[in-house]
Amino acid sequence: MDIQIITATTVTKLGLEHKGQVLIGGSHGGVYAGYLAAKAGARAIILNDAGGGLDGAGFSSLAYLDDLGRPGATVAHDSARIGDGDDMAARGIISYVNRTAAALGCAVGQTTMACAEAMRAAPAPSGEAPAYEEARFLFSIEGESPAIWGVDSASLLRPEDAGQVVITASHGALLGGEAASAIKYDVLACAYNDAGVGIENIGISRLPALDQRTIAAVAVDCQTARIGDVRSMWQSGIISYVNKTAAALGVAPGDRLQTFAQKARR
C-alpha cells in the first residue's frame, strides 16, 4: 500500500480515503478528535494542540492513541492555524508526541511534515477504536424557551437548534478560513473555546463572521475550561472574547459563560 500524508480541515468529516493513511487534521487534539480519526482508520494522526489549555485537554488524545497503538502528535497552536490542515502541514511545528510516535523518530520541534514522514513507517491499524461518545446536555430548565443546549462538538448541532442558545466545546476557528463554517444553523447565540487564540487570531475567527449573521458569540479562555468538554465550559468557563452582537447585550471579557447564556435569552 502506498502510504500517503493527507490533510483535512476537521476530523468530523473523514472518509474512506483517510483509511490507512497519515492524517494531518485541523481539529483540536482532544480525545474525541483522536477517536474520530482512529475510527476512520487513520494510520497515524497529527492534530492541533489548541493552546494546551485546562488539564492539557488540547493534546489529551495522545494518551488515548497510545492505548490503541497509534502514533499521535500535535502542532503548536501558535505555529499554524487550527481548523486548517493544509496550513498545519505547510508551517506547523510539533509541540507534543505520544510514545508510539516517539518510537518512530517523531519529536517535539520537528516540522509537521518531518513528523508525518516518520509516521509513514507505522504499522497498519489493527482492530476498531472503542466507542467514545460525545453528548448533548440541556443546561436550562426543560420546557423553557429559548433553551440552552451544550454540545461537546459543533458537529452535533441539529436543525432544531435554530433560535436556541448553544454552548459548544469546539474551537472558535473558521474551518479553512471559510465564513460559511462559522455555525451550521441560525442559533440565537453561541459559544466556543478560544483554543489559545493562536496564530493570526484564528481561534476566535468565528466571532466576527457570526456578527454578519447577527448571532451573539463569545469565546471562552482555554485555560478556564477543557476544549471538547462542554460541561467543563459551562461549569468554569470565563469569557475571553466577544463579538459586537454579544457586546451589545452587555457581555464582556471576564464574564462567566453562564452569564452570557442568560443575557442572550432575554
DSSP 132-164: ----EEE-S-TT-SS-EEEESSGGG--GGGTTS
Is position 33 within any domain? yes
Could you tell me whether strands 165-171 and 136-138 are parallel, antiparallel, or unpaired per DSSP bridges?
unpaired
pLDDT of residue 85: 97
pLDDT of 156:
92
Question: Is the same domain home to 248 and 141?
Answer: yes
Looking at the domain assignment, is residue 83 inside a domain? yes
If 0-12 CB within 10 Å is exposed, 13-18 middle and 19+ buried, where does residue 73 land? buried
Neighbours of 266 (CB within 10 A): 7
131 lies in a domain? no
Same domain for 115 and 163, yes or no, is: no
Measured between alpha carbons, how far is 163 from 78 in angstroms, rounded to an integer?
A: 34
| pLDDT above 70: percentage of residues in the chain | 99
Residues 140 and 188 in one domain: yes
Kindly give the parts of the chain with pLDDT less than 50: none
User: Which of these, 229, 240, 237, 227, lies nearest to 257 by C-alpha position?
Assistant: 237
Q: Which three cell numbers stand for residue 213?
A: 449573521
Q: What is the pLDDT of residues 33-78, one digit of tens each?
A: 999 999 999 999 999 999 999 999 999 999 999 999 999 999 999 9
For residue 1, what pLDDT is reported? 61
Same domain, yes or no, for 115 and 144?
no
Query: Is the same domain home to 91 and 210?
Result: no
Give residues with Cβ within 8 angstroms of 41, minimum separation 6.
18, 19, 20, 125
Tally the domains of the chain: 2
Whether residue 166 is found in the same domain as residue 232: yes
Per-residue confidence (pLDDT) for residue 180, from 0 to 100 = 86
Domain boundary among 119, 150, 170: 119
Could you tell me if 199 and 157 lie in one domain? Answer: yes
Q: What whole-number distance in Å separates Cα of residue 186 and Cα of residue 19?
A: 34
199 within some domain: yes
Domain end, chosen from 94, 119, 144, is at 119
**What's the domain range around 206?**
136-264
Q: Is residue 46 part of a domain?
A: yes
Q: Evaluate if pTM is beyond 0.85.
A: yes
pLDDT score recorded for residue 176: 86
Is the residue at 185 inside a domain? yes
Of the candidates 65, 85, 119, which is a domain's last residue? 119
195 lies in a domain?
Answer: yes
Identify whether residues 45 and 147 lie together within a single domain. no
Residues 195 and 253 in one domain: yes
- Looking at the fold, whether 21 and 71 belong to one and the same domain comes out as yes
- pLDDT on residue 5: 97
> What is the reported pLDDT for 27?
97
Task: Please check whether residues 83 and 154 belong to one and the same domain.
Answer: no
Identify which of 246, 91, 83 has the alpha carbon closest to the alpha carbon of residue 179. 83
